Structures are given as structure tokens and as C-alpha cells.
Structure 1
Amino acid sequence: MIGYVTVGADDIPRAKRFYAAILPALGYGVTEGPEGLSYALRPDHPAGLTEFYVKPPFDGGPASTGNGSMIAFEARSQRDVRDLHAAAIAAGGRDEGAPGFRAEYGAAFYVGYLRDPQGNKIALYSNDPAEPGRDG
């Protein structure tokens, strides 16, 4: 089980604008401090207490993205994926793949891809078999 994930950011206010457009709708609360942003799910959230941090690098160097790295956040529905993807783009993110089904994943896996303002790759997905799938 993953306990937490951290991404680097050189511009915390820009990062905050981006993540504020999506994470509260997914159940995350934020704490802001001099070290950056700390997002955590509500204690009663079914996914547990996984935390997500957005911080300047500890070594003082510039933040950079990992080639092949991606953080995926689960949304409640395909509609939420579409809405949050659009909100994230409006908040300074870049589109990396419009929301939709992907041929290489299961029939119910619906996903949209983004880059945050620093360039970190983010996925928003829903995998609810009760929703219409591409085969249904």
C-alpha cells in the first residue's frame, strides 16, 4: 500500500490553483505551510488516508518531472472525470489525453490525462462497472 506521494513544484501558488480545481472534489482537504501543500483524504474516506504532497525539492534545486511517472486519482464517475479534467485545464493544466475509454484497458476504465503546471503527469479515472462501458 502506498502511504503518500510527493511531486515537486517551483511555483506553489500555480500548483495550488491547479490542484484546488480537482482534489477537493475527490475528497481531499489541503493544509498549506511554508514547506508547500499537503493534501489528505478525509479520515472516513473508503480509500484510507493516502496523502499527496506538492513541495519544492528538498535539495533546493529546480523541480523536475519523472519520465514515465504518473499519479492517478480515482473519480466517482465518468462525468466527474470529464468535469475535473476541464476544471484542471482551466486552472493552468495541460491536456495530455482527453477523457474517454482506451482500447488497452477494461471495458469500464474511463480516463483523462493532464500535466500540472510543473509538468507532472496526472490521470483522472473512473472504473465503475455500473456505468456504461465502451462495449455496453
Structure 2
Amino acid sequence: MIAYVTVGVDDIALAERFYSAFLPALGYELEEYQGDLSYIPPVQPGQSSVSPDFYVKAPFDGRPAGAGNGTMVAFEARNQSQVRDLHAAALAAGGNDEGQPGFRASYGPNFYVGYLRDPQGNKIALFSSNPDEPGRDG
């Protein structure tokens, strides 16, 4: 099980604006620690975490952050409408479009996804594969 995912950024304030535009709507709570951002899924007393934490940090080596080619972090939304809404919110908060929300022929008939780049260039996917919604063939 993945415990956490970290992306590197050079501008924490810009990254906070971008990630706070959609992660709270997916249930993540923001915690700041020593100038870095930690987006943590809430855990009810007596239960263990079901989703990985998501950390946004300046690189430890002090060199500029860089986005990995082929590296992407995907966040699951409740439905197709939420994918569209959160994709738009992330764009308005400084993100760049990497693929408008919609179905992709390469994936299953219910996989609805929108792609973004954060202000640093890290690739993010917002997706839903809710079987109760119409699929691309329906």
C-alpha cells in the first residue's frame, strides 16, 4: 500500500493555491509543517487511513524542483461532474490544461478523466470511474 506521495515545487504559495483548489473537495485536509504542505485524508478515531498522504515540498537538496517525465499522481473524484468542476478550479488556481475532462479510448468505458500540470509542471489526473454514470459507449 502506498503511504504517501511527494511532489517537489519551488513556490510553496503558488502550489498551495493550486492544490487547495481541489484537494479539500476530495476530503484532504491541509497541514503545514516547516513551510511544506501536507494534504492528509481524515482518519476517524479507531480507523486506519485508506488513502495515501500527499506532500508538496521544496527539494531537500536545495536544487530546483523538476517534474518527472512519465510521472503522474491521480486523484479519484466522486463523479464526472466533480472531475469537471475540480479541473476548472485547478486551472483557475494556476494550473495548466493537459487534457480536458472526458472519456479516453485507451481506458475502460467508465473511466472519465481530466489532466493538469501544477504550476511547477507536475502532472495531475482527476478521474472518476463511477459505474452508476453513463459511460463513453452509453
What is the TM-score when the length of structure 1 is the normalising length? 0.96
Structure 1 residue 71 and structure 2 residue 73: aligned? yes
Asked if structure 1 preserves the Cα contact closer than 8 Å seen for 2:43 and 2:49, the reply is no
- CA 1:108/1:41 → structure 2, altered by over 3 Å: closer, same or farther? same
Deviation at 1:32, TM superposition (A): 1.2
**Distance in 1 (alpha carbons) for counterparts of 2:49 and 2:108:** 21
Q: Shift of residue 53 of structure 1?
A: 0.2
Match of 1:7 in 2: 7
- Partner secondary structure for residue 89 of structure 1: helix
Taking a change above 3 Å as real, the CA distance of residues 106 and 3 of structure 1, as seen in their structure-2 partners, is same
CA shift at 1:97, angstroms?
0.1
Task: Answer yes or no: is the 8 Å Cα contact 2:83–2:101 preserved in 1.
Answer: yes
The one-letter code sitting in structure 1 at the alignment partner of 2:100 is A
SS at match of 1:66: coil
Q: Which runs of 5+ in 2 are unaligned?
A: none
Identity across aligned pairs (percent)? Answer: 67
Unaligned stretches of 5+ in structure 1?
A: none
Q: Which moved more, 1:35-44 or 1:3-12?
A: 35-44
Q: Which residue of 1 aligns with 2:25?
A: 25
Number of residue pairs matched?
A: 136
Q: What is the CA–CA distance in structure 2 between the aligned matches of 1:27 and 1:125, rounded to whole Å?
A: 15
Q: What's 2:57 paired with?
A: 55
Q: Which residue of 1 aligns with 2:36?
A: 36
Contact kept? 1:97, 1:112, Cα under 8 Å: yes
SS of the residue corresponding to residue 96 of structure 1 reads strand
Match of 1:16 in 2: 16
Q: Distance in 2 between the 1:49 and 1:111 partners?
A: 19
**What is the one-letter code of the residue matched to 1:98?**
Q
State the 1:34 CA deviation: 2.2
Shift of 1:46: 9.4
1:135 deviates by 1.1
Q: CA deviation at 1:35?
A: 3.9
Runs in 1 of length 4+ with deviation above 6 angstroms? Answer: none
- Residues 116-135 of structure 1: matches in 2 within 5 Å? 116-135=118-137
| Alpha-carbon contact 1:43-1:49 (below 8 Å) kept | no
CA apart distance, 1:33: 2.5
